[in-house]
Structures are given as C-alpha cells and as structure tokens.
Structure 1
C-alpha cells in the first residue's frame, strides 16, 4: 500500500482545544434549537393547534424534552467526529467529510421548522409540502452521516439512531398534517 492510500493517523487533541470545540458544537446546535423554537412557538398555539393530526401525534409537552435530548446528542456527535479525525494543529481533520454532512444535516434541521410552521401562515399548504421535502432531505443526510460516522466513531453512529428514528416519526406527523387537512 502506498503512503497516499494509507489511512492518516489521528492524535489526541489538547484538552483546551477539545473543550473549545465541544462548546462550539453545543453553541451551534443550541442556535438551531433557539431559532427553531422562535419559528414554531407562535404557530403551535395558532394554526397547528387547530389542525387535524394523526392519532399518534404526541402532546405538545413531549416535543421540547425529546428535542432537547436529541440536540444534546447531536452536539456530542459533532464533537466525537471532530475528535476522532483530529491529526494535529494545522492538519486537515480526517473526519472533514463527515463534519460537512453534520453541518448539512444541522442546516436542514434549522430549515424544517420555519418551512413547516412559520411558512404556513405565509404560503398555506405548500409550506407543509416544503416541510416534507426538507425532512426527507434531513433523513437522507442523517443516514449518510451515520454511514460516514461509522468509519470514525461507533459512539457517534449509535447516538444518531434515536435522532433518525425521531425524524422518521416526525415525518409521519408532517404527512398526517398534509393528508388530514
């Protein structure tokens, strides 16, 4: 095997850098959470409360804690991927492809709530279809991330399983809104 085909070795990042990256991951995920909450809060008490929903739609009190746990796990996933690919200061991270997909899925997560909730008062039912497109792309991105993460961190991959299951569940709620209203 030539040196160019060998898997690059990783090193343990300095503790201070690990703390800064973990804080950055938590901040990025928290920002997505806060912005999503701003886009949904007024609408959950508005049109969504009156919309017909599938029988398995959980009470509103379930969503905050569920997303809180999933967002915390998501931040840890980003950190674990970064740490598992760290090769030293100034060296490209070996997990950069997985980290890019991590960023894509985070961006798609950020897009879903304003598209679905805040979009409805503006464009009506097309917002629900837009939400379905976004959540479908998000599911694909998370599956892709799991495939990439498996090569770098089994723990990160396992942490993504509940997130994927919740997204699949949430997509049925999105489809239910479309079908029943």
Structure 2
C-alpha cells in the first residue's frame, strides 16, 4: 500500500513539475505576441486547475493499483499512467518552447486518449478510480478547444515563413 502511494504521488509530482518547467514561465511570446481568445481563463487559474487534476489522477492511480486483481493489471495501469504523463509533458515544449500551437494541437488527441484509455481500464476495477479521471478528460477537451482557437487566431506558424506571429514578434 505504501508503494502504491509513492508511485501515485511520484507520478503526479514528476508530471506536474516537468510540465511546469516546460511551460517556459509564460514567455513574452506567450504573454505579448500570441493572440488568445477573450474567454481563455486567466493565467493564474491554470496552476490550481492542474493541481486539482493531478491530485485526482494520483488518487485514481492509487485506487487502481490498490484494487488491481493481479500484477499484470498493476503493470498495465502503471504503463497507462506513464504514457499519459509523457503525452501530458510533450504538449508543453511543442506549444511553449517550439512556439508551435499547431503541432501541440496535433498532439492533443493522443493526450485525450491517454486519459480516456486508463479511465476505461480502471472503471471495472474501481469505479471511483475511473470517475476520478473525468475532470482530467474534460479539462483536456476544453484545452483542445482553446488550443484550436489559438491556432485559428495566429496561423500560419513557422519561423521564417512570414507568419503572423513572426511579424508581431519582430522577426
């Protein structure tokens, strides 16, 4: 049981920490150049939202591991959360470091599926574990729409292509 707690909390802390690091401290490009929709939540709201999502996901992982009927199922659950963590982390450098919201948008369906699949796997093992991932799934769906809107407001993308973002950034 202690190992399950360590795995679940460790997963959440690593994914949240690496993701936050890769957010690039909301660079001037994000704050001043990138056009965002008026309905986007304020920047300060993303930290608390992700904190709640990661806490619920960690609890989901813990319950799934605790209630898994065998070691094969435990390994599957851990593997699914590892895949989700990687998909979650990958979005950040695509959007913030490479400044390619269009590439991040292409990655979003994989992130969404990486939440849905563990949810479906966990549901018969622990309904609570599956249900705890629902806010994460909804948040990723909302973030996908936000990402799509940012792409529409700012396209085309690409350094040196004469993109709207290049012009606004003075390139």
TM-score range, shorter chain: 0.7 to 0.9
* SS of 1:144 mapped into structure 2: helix
Note the C-alpha offset of 1:151: 1.4
- RMSD (CA atoms): 1.5
Larger Rg: 1
Aligned length: 153
Q: Is the 8 A contact 2:84 2:115 kept in 1?
A: yes
Quote the Cα distance in structure 2 between the aligned partners of 1:98 and 1:21: 11
* SS of 2:73 mapped into structure 1: coil
> What runs of 5+ residues in structure 1 fail to find an aligned partner?
1-17, 121-126
> Which residue among 18, 28, 35 is the counterpart of 1:52?
35
> What runs of 5+ residues in structure 2 fail to find an aligned partner?
155-171
TM-score, normalization by structure 1: 0.78
Deviation digits for residues 7-39 of structure 1 (CA, Å, limit 9, x no counterpart): xxxxxxxxxxx1222122212221111111111
> Which residue among 88, 96, 120 is the counterpart of 2:75?
96
* SS of 1:40 mapped into structure 2: coil
* SS of 2:41 mapped into structure 1: coil
Quote the Cα distance in structure 2 between the aligned partners of 1:53 and 1:101: 32
TM-score, normalization by structure 2: 0.83
Q: Is the 8 A contact 2:63 2:126 kept in 1?
A: yes
Residues 115-130 of structure 1 correspond to what in structure 2 (within 5 A)? 115-120=94-99, 127-130=100-103
